[in-house]
Structure 1
């Protein structure tokens, strides 16, 4: 036990010392980047802002000199032979190829040029025009693969999120049981119909589930295949229901959906299936909201995209925020959204 503890402690110490040295500009591997334009600049920017990773950009081979600018502050070359001679002369340790996959001929020229050298060659393909989300290289049954259209969240991230969801939902349901009981009594005693309203929604990977809400409208029959969104002054909304919708208290039973594993605390808000069918063909990226579980609250909601979506532009804005959340997910972002929902998201002028 003591040996294992000492081994872990020594590795943590070495890691901390290396990080400190690298941030001070020492123990860095030199990198020359091959490419042009925004993708090359992005790769170099990532090197600059991540000194702890152990790399330092020192030069570039501009594959489109004349149409694309050189990198300011770094020596740039326009001819491969001149670039290769410089790499050998300066003993550059890494050459990173930041090119689209369509430029296979250039990639092969670079590989051939350095085939007799000990320099490390790494290919960072530009797949921005192909991938729905930021590139993500995974090990797929022993072979590297780039996700073009797949959930950007790793299995570890999904497990982390699921554990938080269940614990948070259980705590909320226990803490708010008296409030939810009082709401149930108020709903039942002021209008005819069930306490809970249920509706079919799509969850992760398009799986259908029944979402729970406190009923906020008087009992009424919907035309088959048509779901009317609530509008300002909607006569179907009860007096108690208006308060519940304005304060988002009607959403509290969805923590039961979270506990059942059908929803997440934070994620894209689920829409009625009829609206999914309507918007998936006219709103760019709409269907990719269902790469993960839908949420009780989300990045779109805390940024003002709540309530009725009476114009395509509103739905497009909501979807863009949902896709931003997918691309930039972190546990910290989830906590930020939960806090924003509690502080400013419970009451909103678009909730009616």
Structure 2
């Protein structure tokens, strides 16, 4: 579902302050949460890699060949892939299966035996029935079965510990109250079994229509306050407990909430509309209709992070001579530190400090960015003008990338006091904070399309946000590579870079 950023919103939701109770609830939640989705993916990766290594490790003892050939390698890799697919098909990677391993372990072992049988049939098909092959298959089955038992027992112990620490949970809030919220909570039953924690209710209504507590879950505030709570508590899921027929009210809610980096679902309990089962996602037994998905989540986020670490490390190595020369030039040009830090908005609207080469005279520096730099600005040094035009002043932000505060590619992080015509940018552009649903970047889609440098009109910041939201919708690793490759060419146009 897409929201037009030019649509008018009812209010600036980020400005609503939380009540004390809501702040206490948010503070009590662990800040070291582990994503169930990422944990399930990590277990799959561990099992696949371990089974491949087992197959390779025991190969010499089962064959006269010192090294497996191509056909043998295909079988060694095929066995883990078949096993992982089978375990996924029986729900063996859900948090419930990882926590209570006994009910699923017997099926995993049976599936592993069937996998070995399939591999044996495959070896016959490829005419690999030579001496030692049967022994290898037998060893692989026994060692693999032992691995599954030990691994699942270990993971179950870890899952129990993390659950007790409040780290392994999918945090959710219910938007709405009253009878619909009560029905939803009753259907969820044991939230632990549903692998979700309902942290609270948020509703603009009051009185009997929306009491202060529903089925033991407290009402923590209004929908406007939910935006701030979701950021502080690192909420993963918003469940809208409103009739799907209340189209106008749901739309108004989405206009406020779509800026958050969370999954947004609407409860289908009691709805007269019926879709095919594949049209729903589920939390426990509750059917939900998907409205928004958190962008760049799960394995995509790990892939992007790995991409950032590898490329940023290589870039720091390659560009270190340039950075050293820049630092020397800054020191020779004017007194003061080579680097300075500036507070900017990061992922989930959190404030981070980014590193930059100093481009202003030290005594005139403006770390809060209260006054925008303009053409011919007297505060900018001679070297500062050059490094700002060429964006060399941004190179230290590669360190921010390695620290996990920035990504190589993403919406550029704006200063917390950035403004145009005496208005903060979130007041100029409705839905401005939707650009913070992903990590900000050293470069971005807006920058290579010419939207860099001074922002002196509302239209310029609107266009930047438009391209930022396009990037979030279109993200892929090839897209990031394209933006990185085009960045040097975009620096040729320094018309607005002062």
Q: 1:254 aligns with which of 397, 408, 413?
A: 397
Would the aligned equivalents of 1:269 and 1:298 in 2 still touch at CA under 8 Å? yes
CA distance in 1, matches of 2:81, 2:278: 35
Deviation sequence 1:12-33 (CA, Å, 0-9, x none) = xxxxxxxxxxxxxxxxxxxxxx
Contact (CA 8 Å) 2:359, 2:388: kept in 1 or not?
yes
In 1, the alpha carbon distance for the partners of 2:376 and 2:485 equals 30
Provide the C-alpha distance between the structure 1 equivalents of 2:483 and 2:496, rounded to a whole number of angstroms: 18
Structure-2 change in CA distance of 1:227 and 1:168 (3 Å): same
| Pick aligned residue for 2:357 from 209, 214, 227 | 214
Aligned residue among 247, 267, 276 for 2:410: 267
1:278 aligns with 2:421: no
Structure 1 match to 2:443? 297
Choose the corresponding residue for 1:184, options 327, 335, 339.
327
Q: How much has 1:221 moved relative to structure 2? A: 4.4
User: How many equivalent pairs are there?
Assistant: 241
The residue matched to 2:471 in structure 1 has which SS?
A: helix
| Shift in Å, 1:237 | 1.2
Aligned counterpart for 2:466 among listed residues 320, 323, 326: 320
Residues 450 and 493 in structure 2, CA contact (< 8 A), matched pair in contact too: no
Q: What CA distance in whole angstroms lies between the structure 2 residues aligned with 1:146 and 1:296?
A: 36
Q: 1:142 to 1:185 in 2, by over 3 A?
A: farther
Partner residue in 1 for 2:129: none
Q: TM-score by structure 1 length?
A: 0.61
| Cα deviation 1:296-332 (Å, max 9, x = unaligned) | 0011111111111111111011001101111111111
Give the structure with the higher percent helix. Answer: 2
Pairing 1:58-137 to 2, within 5 Å after superposition: 101-102=244-245, 108=272, 121=276
* Structure 1 residues not aligned, in runs of 5+: 12-99, 112-119, 125-136
Give unmatched runs, 5+ long, in structure 2.
1-54, 56-71, 84-242, 248-267
Q: Does residue 332 of the first structure (1) align with residue 478 of the second (2)?
A: yes
Report how far residue 144 of structure 1 moved. 5.4
2:234 matches 1:234: no
Match of 2:77 in 1: 5
Q: Please give the alpha-carbon distance, in whole angstroms, between the structure 2 residues aligned to 1:245 and 1:225.
A: 18
Pick from 305, 309, 334: which aligns with 1:162?
A: 305
Post-superposition Cα deviations, 1:164-187, rounded to whole Å, max 9, x if no partner, equal 111111111111111111110000
Deviation at 1:7, TM superposition (A): 5.2
CA contact (8 A) 1:268 1:294 kept: yes
How far apart are residue 338 of structure 1 and its match? 0.6
1:158 is displaced (CA, Å) by 0.8
Q: TM-score, normalised by structure 2?
A: 0.44
Question: 8 Å contact 1:187–1:215 — kept in the other structure?
Answer: yes
Specify the SS of the correspondent of 1:339.
Answer: helix
State the Cα RMSD in Å. Answer: 3.1
Aligned residue among 131, 138, 152 for 2:295: 152
Query: Equivalents in 1 of 2:415, 2:313: separation in Å?
Result: 26
User: Retained in 2: the 8 A contact 1:247–1:347?
Assistant: no
CA distance in 1, matches of 2:460, 2:317: 35
Tell me by how many angstroms 1:239 deviates.
1.0
Is 1:243 the counterpart of 2:389? The answer is: no
**SS, match of residue 472 in structure 2:** helix
Query: Which one has more relative contact order, counting CA pairs under 8 Å at least 6 apart?
Result: 2
